[in-house]
Amino acid sequence: MEIIQQILFVVALGATGWYIAKRVRLIAQAIKLGRPENRYDHPDERLKTMLLVAFGQKKMFTNLLVGIMHFVIYAGFLIVNLEVLEIILDGILGTHRLFAPYITPIYPILIDVFELLAVGVLTVCVIFLCRRFIAKVPRFQQERHREMTRWPRTDAAIILTAEILLMIAFLTWNASDSVLRDRGVGHYAELKGIVPDFLISQFLKPLFSGFSDTGLIVYERTAWWLHILGILSFAIYVTYSKHLHIALGFPNVYFSDLQPKGEMQNMPEITKEVQLALGLPVTTEADGSQANDNGDQPPAEIGRFGAKDVQDLKWINLMNAYSCTECGRCTSACPANITGKKLSPRKIMMDTRDRLEEIQDGWKTNGFDYKDDKSLLNDYITAEELNACTTCQACVNACPININPLDIILQLRRYRVMEESDAPASWNAMFSNIENNMAPWKFSPSDRFNWADQVND
């Protein structure tokens, strides 16, 4: 019987690893659709940002209580699952609590810490479920945000419920295991006197006092299998879920923009043309350094101004889309959304990811050369949404993992204005004034400081 369990476990582990590797390759291929951009500069600053924002959850603590709860569920779930290493080795080798005899003094302490964290994760998951479906926090409700369809709400419920069940399986498995040690049943008796009762699960032992030895073994094995299979299933499901940020949150923050939030990137090709026209040194590099160009060579042909589809965006924009947690903090901070406009920065990121997923589905049946007649602009994101953006950076500042919806909005708007000449009339008037008068307003540059004459000394 034991060898059968080992074989089944190895098969489950191998199948999970193969499927996750397949999904990772597909997601990586989708991110590589984006245009190249160097995000490997200033590694020390990037590492510091990642430790503060991704691991330390710095931006989550703007709301202290929610920040603490999120840290418990995020760090707690990851730390609790460190025990998965022992479970995997036990499953492969057919052993039981493999590490216990070798690290006897600290083994109970480790499990006690895991159990405390498990209770924390379980408690916070229940609170988050109540916030979503009982308290009905506005940023999670479809009535106010059209992107919050049935699936995002269901996805959140599935993840939170799964984490609750995994923690229950973990705690009751420890409790039933302790009862079997106390009774001296089979191989469980070998750890009697080595492994004591654990901090939390000892209070659950009375639940199993009426179980027969056979029934207790069945429950202990069932809880063990449910816990590990639940984790393996969770790992697969995450690759389809908004909770992919568990894996992508760290690299997403590491590669995030280090420039000041108010600084917008110009198109290097346009900057170069302007500098050549004015006889200025060409400084098209991202850091403002001079490019190695004497101005005699004709400029490279520009494939497209701005972005129409995901292939025109930068690769970091696509990683942002896969990293989005759909928490809605960006949309809650957006002044355009607050005043009733259709723009929702969260929807911008969700639409970008949905478009990538649609392309992935095409790859499965038609290969990587798959093309369709759709595009991110118009088929997913409308001109009305783009025009509502004030470029205030509120969404960028609000995101807990440094996602930048504004960068996508700007690239899509550039396409509409520069490729389709489809700017609102008021924008065209402003462009003309800036070009001719060096200000958005229609008056002579020599009159710009006339207001100062009216200021009392």
Mean of the pLDDT values across residues 328-347? 95
Mean pLDDT of 247-271: 87
The more confidently predicted of residues 382 and 442 is 382
284 and 370 part of one domain: no
Q: Which range of residues forms the domain containing residue 296?
A: 268-302
Q: What is the domain count for the chain?
A: 3
CATH number at residue 377: 1.10.1060
- Percent of the chain past pLDDT 70, that is, above it, reads 95
pLDDT of the residue at 214: 95
Query: Are both 315 and 241 inside the same structural domain?
Result: no
Q: What is the pLDDT of residues 134-177, one digit of tens each?
A: 998 888 988 889 899 888 989 999 999 999 999 999 999 999 99
Short-list 36, 402, 388, 20, CA closest to 235: 20
Is 11 in the same domain as 152? yes
In a domain, 36, yes or no: no
State whether 249 and 183 are in the same domain. Answer: yes
Task: Tell whether 49 is covered by a domain.
Answer: no
Asked, for residue 48, whether it belongs to a domain, the answer is no
- pLDDT tier at 97 (50, 70, 90 boundaries)? very high
Q: How confident is the model at residue 124 (pLDDT cuts 50, 70, 90)?
A: very high
**Two structure tokens written together for 38:** 């160097």
- Assess if residue 152 is contained within a domain: yes
Q: Each residue of 400-427: pLDDT tens digit?
A: 999 999 999 999 999 999 999 898 888 8
pLDDT of residue 241: 92
Mean pLDDT, the chain, rounded, equals 90
**Top-confidence residue, 235 or 288:** 235
In a domain, 90, yes or no: yes
Q: And the tokens for 302?
A: 């520009």
The verdict on residue 326 lying in a domain is: yes
pLDDT for the residue numbered 269: 76
pLDDT (0 to 100) of residue 188? 93
What is the SS3 assignment for 369-435? CCCCCCCHHHHCECHHHHHCCCCCCHHHHHCCCCCCHHHHHHHHHHHHHHHCCCCCHHHHHHHHHHH
**Do residues 292 and 309 share a domain?**
no
Check whether residue 361 and residue 276 sit in a common domain.
Answer: no
Asked whether residue 259 is domain-assigned, the answer is no
- What is the mean predicted confidence (pLDDT) over 284-292? 51
End-to-end Cα, the chain, rounded Å: 95
Looking at the structure, tell me whether residues 230 and 359 fall in a common domain: no
Where a domain ends, among 191, 226, 254? 254
122 and 26, same domain (yes or no): yes
Q: Looking at the structure, tell me whether residues 362 and 273 fall in a common domain.
A: no
Q: Which pLDDT score, from 0 to 100, does residue 295 have?
A: 46
User: Does residue 42 lie within any of the structural domains?
Assistant: no
